[in-house]
Amino acid sequence: MTHPEVASQNLPGATCSGRRVKNWASMIEPGTLRQAEEVAAMPFVAPFVALMPDAHVGMGSSVGTVIPTVDAVIPAAVGVDIGCGMIGMRTGFSRSDIDRRIATVGTTLAALRESIEDAIPLSPGNYNTGRDRFAFTRGRYEELAELAASTEVDLSHSPKWREQLGSLGGGNHFIELCLDEADAVWLFLHSGSRGVGNKIAQRHIKIAQRLCKRWYVPLPHQDLAFLPQGTDEFRRYLLDLKWAQRFAYLNRAEMMDRFASVFAEWMGVADAQVVETINCHHNYTQREEHFGKQVWLTRKGAVDAHEGVKAIIPGSMGTRSYVVQGKGNPESLCSAPHGAGRRFSRTEARKRFTQDDLRKRMAGIEYRDSAEFVDEIPDAYKDIDQVMEDARDLVTVLHQLRQILNVKGT
């Protein structure tokens, strides 16, 4: 096994920055490396920090950072969208089936997009007005309520958490209809734990900051405040985290079932003929063993890439996405990138690009033509193909997806 302090030429696919950072990104800013080095210098981080190919500056720690911690967790490193991730469903349909449906019935992809937007609430703060539209929803409410009760998770800060289940959110969250390299139809979406997860995260970030201040712990950044194992605050965070991660997982499953229902209705069939489904987090913490040591592994903008584990790595709207299988590379802490990663902030993207630029990039794709999505233009993100090239020793590509329909939260 290669020691984390050896020179970069001894690490295939990676370079070293400082003594305890391994970097897989060929496109990286100095600020991202600086943040990684600050995290790696924390006394409970071991054996090293891994930067994914899509890494970019974040709050306290960079998005695209994999952080192993011993006897401590950093709530802000997990982030405020606990359990954010991807779900993809391969159906039994092909592009020719869609073309035939359009030709024979006279429907459009725009009609399908509108049905999706009607079934799934979009945008922050836009929740379900009722709870009984879909029969499959009730079981998820019951599971989450039982989990909260059994682990004493306090949800008083989010009385409408049930209405949030099955809602998309905003920013870079999206829903897409895609085709793979064989023209098989995939349903595809990206979302997390919504407002309830944000409230849980914010509560524990503040607790960690308050404790570190009380203990006079010097921190390079307040968003690196941590909770030590053995404290009640640590125990409470892990229980709340487990609930929020489960909410995020079920939220994606709920939206996917709704998407599949309206897609099947649009196709004029009883069901979407599901072939396989992949549902994976990319903002979370869990117990794992690395280099012979039990750690709390935080993947902040990274997916599990243990050998044989399937995951989804999306590009941006207008570019390709990838279905992958992990290679179990120990030097990356068995992790891989979670997407393209931003090149420009939302403010900078709006300065550089126009609605017309976005229209050109989205040619041939059904989407809501709106200036509010300019900051999501593919040019605001890193080149997903370069990200995947950088990840060649982390994952095997199973499928390449190209979207034909896109729905975004505002």
List residues with catalytic annotation.
338
Give the helix/strand (H/E) hosting 103.
helix 95-105
DSSP 8-state class, residue 8? G
The helix/strand/coil state of 80 is coil
Q: Which residue has the tokens 């001894």?
A: 10
Is residue 169 marked as binding?
no
**Phi, psi dihedral angles at 23 (to 5 degrees):** -120, 125
Is residue 159 marked as binding?
no
Distance from C-alpha of 320 to C-alpha of 365, rounded to nearest angstrom:
12
Is residue 307 marked as binding?
no
Is residue 338 marked as binding?
yes
Distance from C-alpha of 102 to C-alpha of 216, rounded to nearest angstrom:
65
Is residue 408 marked as binding?
yes
Taking the alpha carbons of 14, 296, 282, 357 in that order, is the dihedral positive or negative?
Answer: negative
Is residue 81 marked as binding?
yes
Cβ pair 332, 21 in contact under 8 A = no
Is residue 306 marked as binding?
no
Cβ pair 134, 261 in contact under 8 A = yes
- C-alpha neighbours within 13 Å on the C-beta side of residue 196: 31
Is residue 172 marked as binding?
yes
Is residue 204 marked as binding?
no
Structure tokens that stand for 21 in this block: 């950072």
Is residue 399 marked as binding?
no
Among 91, 88, 54, 50, residue whose Cα is nearest residue 312: 88
Cα-Cα-Cα-Cα torsion 255, 259, 261, 267, nearest 10 degrees, comes to 180
Structure tokens that stand for 227 in this block: 């909770």
Question: How many other CB atoms sit within 10 Å of the CB of residue 388?
Answer: 24
Integer-rounded Cα Rg, in Å, for the chain is: 21
Q: CA geometry: angle at 78 spanning 35 and 65, to 5°?
A: 40
122's CB contacts (< 8 A; 6+ apart) are: 167, 168, 169, 170, 407, 408, 409, 410
Residue type, 244: A
Peptide bond into 47 cis (omega under 30): yes
Is residue 92 marked as binding?
no
Is residue 176 marked as binding?
yes
Is residue 17 marked as binding?
no
Is residue 173 marked as binding?
yes
DSSP 8-state class, residue 344? S
Is residue 341 marked as binding?
yes
Annotated binding-site positions? 81, 172-176, 190, 282-283, 314-317, 321, 338-341, 408
Annotated binding-site positions for Mn(2+)? 81, 173, 190, 282
Annotated binding-site positions for GMP? 172-176, 282-283, 314-317, 321, 338-341, 408
